[in-house]
Each structure stands twice: as structure tokens, then as C-alpha cells.
């Protein structure tokens, strides 16, 4: 299959996983860091188990990629911390549009380190994405980027640079082992930074909450595997990251109908449309 098919599968599964994530974080009494650790470990093991069954869990020497792996751990640890704090407090649709700005940071990193340059029309796409972020950030007729919106933007920066770093690693490292490590290693780092959150993980097993989280991890694992597959077989990481943001408009629509996020619907839809328009110009 072509990388475009893989990114389409990633877009749909990612949109549904975001809705599930927002549903759990807003309706259950869950510590964001405990959830982040549990989610990353669960997803990492699901991907690792899938690779093991299919005979693809082979770990080569990665000494030459030590700096890139360290960068991956730092970026995705920070990104997930920002992401979970943001998504717990702001609407899924608003978060999704702000988080879509990560494509700018992917392109910036790809231009600087992978020499994947930009053409003039792509700068117009970048501007449209930032306009979409501003549009959904207006509160009471004024522009406002509060603490949690800044967390969402911080997640966008971390994941944007992380995607370019992923492409560097995947040039010489097998897909499945890397994707598994990309979840497990940041989870370990998060445990080191937030050791008290480990005590709160046990509460997930006192009810059937772990079943719901397992469902979320499974959907997200599909999204991650298809995204990284597209990233590996494509010739341009900026294009992959840009097209993955088609999930913006899908998530906004799903959030309106499934989560009842009906405040400022017209503004959210306009922001999503502008974001997708920007993505198309970038790609």
C-alpha cells in the first residue's frame, strides 16, 4: 500500500482515539500523569506484542543513534505531559486545532536538519494554520491563550520536532521496535519525573477502567503504526505530518456530535476548515 493509504488510516483512527481520550480524562477521576504513563506503557506493549507475533521485534545496535533516541525521549515525554494536561481542561475540538500547528514545527525542523525546503505557497499554508489556532482561541470577543492552550501549543512544538527526529531514526532502525520504544521510553522518563503518579495507577485496576483504557490504547496503536509506516516509506516527512492533520476537521465534527461540544460551533468548524486548507497548501 502507498503511504497515502497508511496516513488515511492513521487520520481516522487518531480522530477516534482523541475523542476516547477526552471522554476518559473529563469523565473519570484520573490523574493526568498516571493516565499518561499507563497509556504509553499499554500502547507500547500492544505494538511490541503485535511485532513479536509477526516476528518483527528485532532490536539492532543503536549506538550511532544515541543522541536521536535521547532527543526522542525528551520531546515525547514533554509532549505527552503537555498533551494530557491540556486535553483535560480544554475542548477536544479546540485542542485539536491548536495541536495542528505542530506541522509548522515539523517543517521547520525538517528544513533545518533534513533539508526538505519550503516553496512560497507553503508559507501561506503556515499562516492559515496559525489563523485557525487564533480563531479557536478567542474568548469573549478577545484573543486568549491561557495556560492550558499554551500546554496544547507546547505539545505541538514537542511532537512537531519529534516527527522530524523520527524520520532520521527510521532511516536505519526497524519500524516496529522503534514505535514500541517511542512509547515505552518516554513512559519510563515520565515515571522518573512524576514518581508519585505510580501510586495512582493502581486505581485503574479497581474498576473496569483499565478495559476502557485498553480500548483507547489499541485504537491509538493502530494510528501510531500507520503514521510511522507512512513516515518511513514517504520521501518527505513534512508531507506526512501535514496530511495527518486532516484529522483536525474529523475530530472537530466528532467532538460536536459525540461529546456535545456545541459552544462556538461555527468558529470551530471555520478554524478546522482553515487548518485543513493550510495543510493542503503545505502538502
Q: Bigger pLDDT: 76 or 260?
A: 76
With a cut of 80, say whether residue 83 has pLDDT above it.
Answer: yes
- Tell me the β-bridge partners of 139: 142
pLDDT at residue number 240: 77
Helix (H) or strand (E) holding 138: strand 138-139
With a cut of 90, say whether residue 200 has pLDDT above it.
Answer: no
Which band of pLDDT confidence, cut at 50, 70 and 90, is reported for residue 93? Answer: low
Query: Percentage of residues in the chain with pLDDT exceeding 90?
Result: 15
Which band of pLDDT confidence, cut at 50, 70 and 90, is reported for residue 77? Answer: very high
pLDDT at residue number 207: 65
Give the three cell numbers for residue 145: 491563550
Q: Return d(Cα 161, Cα 106) in angstroms, integer.
A: 5
Q: Return d(Cα 268, Cα 271) in angstroms, integer.
A: 5
Q: Bigger pLDDT: 283 or 158?
A: 158
pLDDT at residue number 80: 86
**Domain edges within the chain:** 3-282
- In the predicted model, what is the mean pLDDT of residues 181-193? 91
pLDDT at residue number 138: 57
pLDDT at residue number 233: 85
Residues 203-217 pLDDT 10s? 777 666 777 788 888
Q: Return d(Cα 111, Cα 135) in angstroms, integer.
A: 27
pLDDT at residue number 238: 66
DSSP 65: G
pLDDT at residue number 145: 65
Residues 226-253 pLDDT 10s? 988 888 888 776 677 767 777 777 777 7
CA distances to 39, 73, 154, 162, 179 from 174, in Å = 23, 17, 29, 17, 9
**Diameter of the chain measured on Cα atoms:** 56
Query: Percentage of residues in the chain with pLDDT exceeding 70?
Result: 84
**CA proximity to 37, closest of 189, 162, 159:** 189
Provide the 3-class DSSP secondary structure of residue 1: coil
Helix (H) or strand (E) holding 130: helix 120-136
With a cut of 70, say whether residue 282 has pLDDT above it.
Answer: no
pLDDT at residue number 78: 92
- In the predicted model, what is the mean pLDDT of residues 264-270? 74
Q: Return d(Cα 125, Cα 13) in angstroms, integer.
A: 25
Query: 181 CB contacts (<8 Å, ≥6 apart)?
Result: 44, 69
With a cut of 70, say whether residue 26 has pLDDT above it.
Answer: no
Average pLDDT, the chain: 80
pLDDT at residue number 186: 93
Amino acid at each position: 500500500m502507498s503511504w497515502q493509504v497508511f496516513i488515511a488510516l492513521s487520520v481516522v483512527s487518531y480522530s477516534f482515539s482523541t475523542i476516547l481520550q477526552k471522554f476518559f480524562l473529563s469523565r473519570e477521576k484520573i490523574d493526568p500523569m498516571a493516565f499518561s504513563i499507563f497509556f504509553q506503557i499499554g500502547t507500547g506493549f500492544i505494538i511490541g506484542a503485535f511485532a513479536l507475533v509477526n516476528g518483527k521485534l528485532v532490536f539492532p545496535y543503536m549506538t550511532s543513534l544515541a543522541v536521536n533516541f535521547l532527543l526522542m525521549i525528551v520531546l515525547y515525554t514533554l509532549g505527552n505531559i503537555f498533551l494530557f494536561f491540556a486535553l483535560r481542561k480544554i475542548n477536544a475540538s479546540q485542542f485539536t486545532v491548536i495541536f495542528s500547528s505542530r506541522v509548522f514545527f515539523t517543517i521547520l525542523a525538517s528544513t533545518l536538519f533534513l533539508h526538505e525546503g519550503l516553496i512560497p505557497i507553503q508559507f501561506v499554508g503556515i499562516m492559515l494554520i496559525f489563523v485557525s489556532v487564533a480563531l479557536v482561541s478567542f474568548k469573549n470577543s478577545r484573543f486568549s491563550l491561557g495556560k492550558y492552550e499554551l500546554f496544547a501549543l507546547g505539545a505541538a512544538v514537542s511532537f512537531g520536532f519529534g516527527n522530524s527526529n523520527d524520520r532520521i531514526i527510521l532511516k536505519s532502525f526497524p519500524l516496529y521496535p522503534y514505535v514500541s520504544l517511542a512509547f515505552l521510553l518516554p513512559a519510563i522518563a515520565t515515571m522518573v519525573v512524576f514518581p508519585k503518579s505510580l501510586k495512582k495507577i493502581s486505581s485503574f485496576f479497581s474498576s473496569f477502567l483499565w478495559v476502557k483504557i485498553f480500548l483507547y490504547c489499541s485504537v491509538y496503536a493502530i494510528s501510531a503504526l500507520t503514521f510511522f509506516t507512512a513516515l518511513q516509506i514517504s520521501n518527505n516527512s513534512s508531507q506526512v505530518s501535514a496530511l495527518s492533520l486532516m484529522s483536525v476537521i474529523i475530530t472537530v465534527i466528532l467532538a460536536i456530535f459525540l461529546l456535545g461540544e456545541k459552544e462556538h460551533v461555527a468558529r470551530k468548524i471555520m478554524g478546522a476548515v482553515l487548518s485543513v486548507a493550510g495543510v493542503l497548501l503545505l502538502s
